[in-house]
Amino acid sequence: MERTIIIRYGEIVLKGQNRRFFEDKLVKQIRFAIKDLGDIRTYKKDSRIYIDSEGFDEDQIVQRVKKIFGIILISRAIRLPVDFELIKRTACEEIERKHKTDGVKTFKVDSKRVDKSFPLKSPEISREVGGYILQNQSNATVDIHNPDVTVYVEIRDEAYIFVEKIKGFGGLPIGSSCKGLLLLSGGIDSPVAGWLTARRGLEIDAVHFHSYPFTSERAREKVLELAKTLAIYIGSFKMYSINLLPIQQEINEKCKEEEMTIISRRFMMKIAENIAINRADAKALITGESIGQVASQTVESLHTTNSSVDLPVFRPLIAMNKEDIIQLARDIGTYETSILPYEDCCTVFLPKRPLTKPRLEKILTSEARLDVEALIKNAIENMEIQVISIDDFI
């Protein structure tokens, strides 16, 4: 008998002739996530991925693996020969262990016979194993509707016994889709937007806009912490840091006060598109915008912003309620950093009454007062590039 970890993936199985590509991506990412824990065998078999965990820290392995996109369920299991007496004893020992560690009193057996040459059918396996446990564990009773624990028995070319199914995040493995460039601020929304888009298989780079020295060094450190948290899920990536202050000063001097937010936003999008095309090889921009949340996120404002770029703009939060976004931020570990009270570039020259229904033709007239190309060129020439490396956090 040996310990093993069973990894199940979801929609990857529906990928037809491309399925192997997605599976290989997933195996590669699992191996990378646990590479520093030892020489751990990881392999595909029977539409699953197995990690031979005997002698290794299973808790650490599970904590690493469950953050990998594409995985829907994880189980710590015992792999053993297809010997029915051994299977019954092992299942009984698992119930005894759960009683000692977690105080469980009720159980049920859920069996799956993949190897049809095994003489007992799945219901018969469950009945026989459950009967053996009842005979040998005085503290255990059966509850098929609401048990404290379920003992799973699978008969394949080998047998597997496990008592847990840990949920993963699902989605697709990172890098199985194209690359996107995330506009990453220090707020709650944009890290969640990057995480959601990465869950659909996109590789992510990020661009961050600041207004130093009007915004503090602590504000930049806050964004760096958010980037580090994202790297745990999406892997190493580049972050491009742009000082937007010279552009904001020009807008403040030459345009109407109420246009500051929307024109600044259009500059951010233009700069991000330039980086995406010429530096990051990204095929889309990603933002944390949600309809009606602030002045720059009304439908009219989004239309005016969209018109500044040709690349598609992915907005995975567009119809989400703020409470749902906050809960997801808590789940992925970015919320506590996002609410630290350090200002970002959007607070600089903030108009008292920003436009909520901008008219594109008027915004274009105002932008004509600015040397847009020169301002963008100067911002990009002076940007900083930092690699956020996953190796620093595992």
Q: 172 in a domain, yes or no?
A: no
- Looking up residue 124, the CATH number of its domain turns out to be 3.30.2130.30
Single-letter residue type at 242: I
The pLDDT, as a whole number, for residue 349 is: 67
Helices of type H across 255-371: 260-275, 299-306, 322-332, 335-338, 360-367
- Domain identity same for 233 and 85: no
Is 44:52 a contact under the CB 8 Å cutoff? Answer: no
Residue owning tokens 């220090």:
186
Domain-terminating residue out of 167, 195, 220? 167
Examine residue 231 and state whether it is found in any structural domain, yes or no. Answer: yes
Whether residue 340 sits in one domain with residue 228: yes
Same domain, yes or no: 144 and 224:
no
**Do 156 and 286 fall within a single domain?**
no
Cβ proximity of 348 and 211 under 8 Å: yes
DSSP 152: E
Residue 107 and residue 223 in one domain: no
Domain boundary among 167, 191, 223: 167
Determine contact, residues 315/289, Cβ cutoff 8 Å: yes
| Residue 169 marked in a binding site | no
Residue 145 in marked binding region? no
Contact 146, 108 (CB under 8 A): no
Which amino acid is present at 386?
Q
Q: Give how far Cα 316 sits from Cα of 144, 193, 197, 236, Å.
A: 40, 6, 7, 21
Strands (DSSP E) contained in 140-292 are: 141-142, 149-155, 159-162, 166-167, 179-183, 203-210, 237-243, 284-286
Would residue 37 count as lying in a domain? Answer: yes
Together in a domain, 132 and 186: no
Do 16 and 130 share a domain, yes or no? yes
Element housing 28 (H / E): helix 19-33
What pLDDT does 392 receive?
A: 56
Chain position carrying tokens 């310990």: 3
Structurally, the chain folds into a number of domains equal to 2
**Confidence (pTM):** 0.91
393 belongs to an annotated ligand binding site: no
| 150 & 220 share domain | no
User: Cα–Cα distance between 50 and 4 in angstroms, integer?
Assistant: 7
Does residue 105 sit in the same domain as residue 229?
Answer: no
CA–CA dist 301, 188 (Å, integer)? 20
Check the annotation: does 69 bind a ligand: no
pLDDT (tens place) for every residue of the chain, 394 residues total = 999 999 999 888 878 888 999 999 999 999 999 999 999 999 999 899 999 999 999 999 999 999 999 999 999 999 999 999 999 999 999 999 999 999 999 999 999 999 999 999 999 999 999 999 999 998 899 999 999 999 999 999 999 999 999 999 999 999 999 999 999 999 999 999 999 999 999 999 999 999 888 777 888 899 999 999 999 999 999 999 999 999 999 999 999 999 999 999 999 999 999 999 999 999 999 999 999 888 788 999 999 999 999 999 999 999 999 999 999 999 999 999 999 887 766 666 677 788 889 999 999 999 999 999 999 999 999 999 999 987 655 4
Residues 6+ apart with CB under 8 A from 55: 3
208 annotated as belonging to a binding site for a ligand: yes
In a domain, 174, yes or no: no
| 173 within domain boundaries | no
* Residue 324 falls inside a structural domain: yes
Please state, in angstroms and rounded to a whole number, the distance separating the CA atoms of residues 64 and 44: 18
271: in domain = yes
Do 370 and 222 sit in the same domain of this protein? yes
Angle at the Cα of 75 (from 73 to 81), degrees rounded to 5? 130
Give the span between the Cα atoms of 165 and 266, in whole angstroms: 46
Q: Report the CATH number that the domain containing residue 316 is assigned in CATH.
A: 3.40.50.620
Shared domain for 163 and 185, answered yes or no, is no
Q: Which of 167, 198, 221 is the last residue of a domain?
A: 167
* Residue 95 belongs to domain spanning: 2-167
Calculate the alpha carbon distances from 162 to 68, 98, 205, 256, 263 in Å. Answer: 21, 11, 39, 65, 57
Q: Is residue 103 domain-shared with residue 163, that is, in the same domain?
A: yes
C-beta of residue 243 within 8 angstroms of C-beta of residue 281: no
Is 218 one of the annotated binding-site residues? Answer: no
Q: Which among 390, 394, 392 has a CA at the least distance from the CA of 174?
A: 390
Label residue 81 exposed, middle or buried (CB < 10 Å: 0-12, 13-18, 19+).
Answer: exposed
Among residues 247, 96, 65, the alpha carbon closest in space to that of 161 is found at: 96
Q: Does residue 279 form part of some domain?
A: yes
Amino acid at 2: E
Flag whether 183 is marked binding.
yes
d(CA 390, CA 394): 7
Q: How far apart are CA 189 and CA 325, in angstroms?
A: 7
User: Whose structure tokens read 């889309």?
Assistant: 284
Give the Å distances, CA to CA, from 73 to 70, 101, 127, 141, 147.
10, 22, 25, 27, 20
Q: Are 309 and 285 in contact (CB under 8 A)?
A: yes
